[in-house]
């Protein structure tokens, strides 16, 4: 490693994906913006990862190899701690940058000093690199066609009431965010990035570029796919739990920074009830046993006691105890 202080640090945590890492790394080296370092944290890979990285004779590449596998999340924290750039962004080892990605986002930071984070649209590619959804915000909200610099308070409110509209590989954020707010929370495993974007929005403005600047690979082996699997609602039970927990962590930590706090908290409670009830109803319709659904509901109520105040959730809970015949009878007599 050198003492050079680059403008941008591109952070690539990796494990046993040498053939995909090669593509990701070369997409960084092909950037039109050249003042960067690319930091690779190798989580004790057993394939050709080390040989591959060391075959590049580019001083901008920083390679770190863990002596043992520390898990993907700790490896994310590790690569973040190694960064030296004034701007930082993660690039998962199976994703790619378009050539103007860094230059386009650096320009936004230069023009808007109050912006703490820039994200963008992207192309979705399959495991072979074929574009399957071009120019999109797929799985991160509706398509947007106009660049925007948005007040952080507005973005924070939207993220709290809605869902995560910021896709990690498209993000570049300031080192000052990291120095002020610290790294990702240890209380979440899948939604730690979601919580972090809200944390940044609580203190900085957020910029969006409507041009696709990243290729996001979506296939069966991605963590995102596993996180979304398991339900027709589009998210697993654990994924839903973490999404809701991310919201409440922010509400508890930054009440003074959430605009119209009481109203937003009420809206988040309403969203939590609706989503938990929908998850349970979908599980019942899909053939899950009432006992399994009841266990899910009880676990969610223990985590989020405010759910217990909702008649909607109690109705759903009753369906896991009463037979369908009794439920129909209660409806007929007007007591349901």
CA–CA gap between residue 119 and residue 124 (Å, rounded): 15
Domain boundary among 94, 127, 145: 94
pLDDT 10s digits, 278-303: 999 999 999 999 999 999 999 999 99
Instruction: List the one residue out of 226, 212, 231 whose CA is nearest residue 170.
Output: 212
Q: Residue 288: its pLDDT value, please?
A: 93
Does residue 8 share a domain with residue 108? no
Q: Residue 225: its pLDDT value, please?
A: 53
Pairing between strand 131-136 and 115-125? antiparallel
Does residue 210 share a domain with residue 104? yes
Which residues, at least 6 apart from 193, have a Cβ–Cβ distance to it below 8 Å? 164, 166, 168, 184
- The end-to-end CA distance of the chain, in Å, is 67
Contact indicator for 80, 178 with CB cutoff of 8 Å:
yes
Contact indicator for 241, 300 with CB cutoff of 8 Å:
yes
Does residue 246 share a domain with residue 201? no
Domain span holding position 110: 96-219
Does residue 207 share a domain with residue 145? yes
Token duo for residue 335 = 């007591």
In sequence order, which ranges of 18-135 are alpha helices (DSSP H)?
18-29, 49-54, 72-82, 101-111
CA–CA gap between residue 300 and residue 263 (Å, rounded): 22
Domain CATH number, residue 152: 3.90.550.10
Contact indicator for 147, 112 with CB cutoff of 8 Å:
no
Does residue 318 share a domain with residue 242? yes
Does residue 245 share a domain with residue 211? no
Predicted TM-score (pTM) of this structure: 0.92
Does residue 111 share a domain with residue 63? no
Please report the DSSP string for 196-222 in residue order.
HHHHHHTTSEEEEEEEEEEEEE--TTS
Does residue 87 share a domain with residue 115? no
Q: Is 23 exposed, middle or buried (0-12, 13-18, 19+ CB in 10 A)?
A: middle
Domain boundary among 184, 219, 254: 219
Does residue 112 share a domain with residue 32? no
Does residue 246 share a domain with residue 256? yes
Q: Residue 318: its pLDDT value, please?
A: 87
SS3 content of the chain, % helix, strand, coil (to 5): 45, 20, 35
Return the SS3 of 90. Answer: strand
Return the SS3 of 41. Answer: strand
Please give the torsion angle defined by the CA atoms of residues 81, 82, 84 and 90, in that order, rounded to the nearest 10 degrees: -80
Does residue 238 share a domain with residue 325? yes
Q: Residue 322: its pLDDT value, please?
A: 76
Domain boundary among 158, 187, 219: 219
Instruction: Report the length, in residues, of the chain.
Output: 336
Give the total number of structural domains in the chain: 3
Does residue 158 share a domain with residue 192? yes
Q: Would you give per-residue pLDDT tens digits along the chain (336 residues)?
A: 456 799 999 999 999 999 999 999 999 999 999 999 999 999 999 999 999 999 999 999 999 999 999 999 999 999 999 999 999 999 999 999 999 999 999 999 999 999 999 999 999 999 999 999 999 999 999 999 999 999 999 999 999 999 999 999 999 999 999 999 999 999 999 999 999 999 999 999 999 999 999 999 997 665 555 555 555 678 999 999 999 999 999 999 999 999 999 999 999 999 999 999 999 999 999 999 999 999 999 999 999 999 999 999 998 988 888 755 544 554 555 554
């Amino acid at each position: 490693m050198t003492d050079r202080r680059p403008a941008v640090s591109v952070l690539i945590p990796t494990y046993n994906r040498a053939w995909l890492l090669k593509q990701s790394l070369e997409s960084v080296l092909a950037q039109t913006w050249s003042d960067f370092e690319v930091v690779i944290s190798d989580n004790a890979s057993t394939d050709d990862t080390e040989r591959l990285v060391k075959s590049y004779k580019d001083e901008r590449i920083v390679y770190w190899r863990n002596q043992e596998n520390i898990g993907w999340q700790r490896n994310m924290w590790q690569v973040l701690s190694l960064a030296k750039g004034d701007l930082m962004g993660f690039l998962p080892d199976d994703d790619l940058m378009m050539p103007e990605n860094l230059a386009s986002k650096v320009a936004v930071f230069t023009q808007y000093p109050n912006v703490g984070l820039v994200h963008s649209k992207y192309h979705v590619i399959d495991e072979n690199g074929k574009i399957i959804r071009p120019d999109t915000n797929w799985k991160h909200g509706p398509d947007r066609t106009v660049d925007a610099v948005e007040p952080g308070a507005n973005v924070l409110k939207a993220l709290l009431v809605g869902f995560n509209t910021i896709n990690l590989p498209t993000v570049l954020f300031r080192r000052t965010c990291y120095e002020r707010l610290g790294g990702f929370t240890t209380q979440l495993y899948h939604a730690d990035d979601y919580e972090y974007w809200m944390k940044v929005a609580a203190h900085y403005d957020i910029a969006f570029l409507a041009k696709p600047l990243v290729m996001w690979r979506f296939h069966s082996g991605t963590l995102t796919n596993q996180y979304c699997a398991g339900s027709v609602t589009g998210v697993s039970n654990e994924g839903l739990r973490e999404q809701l927990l991310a919201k409440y962590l922010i509400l508890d930590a930054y009440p003074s920074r959430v605009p119209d706090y009481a109203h937003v908290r009420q809206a988040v409670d309403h969203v939590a009830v609706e989503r938990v009830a929908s998850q349970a109803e979908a599980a019942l319709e899909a053939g899950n046993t009432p006992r399994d659904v009841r266990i899910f509901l009880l676990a969610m109520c223990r985590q989020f006691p405010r759910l217990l105040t909702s008649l909607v959730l109690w109705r759903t809970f009753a369906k896991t105890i009463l037979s369908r015949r009794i439920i129909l009878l209660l409806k007929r007599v007007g007591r349901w």
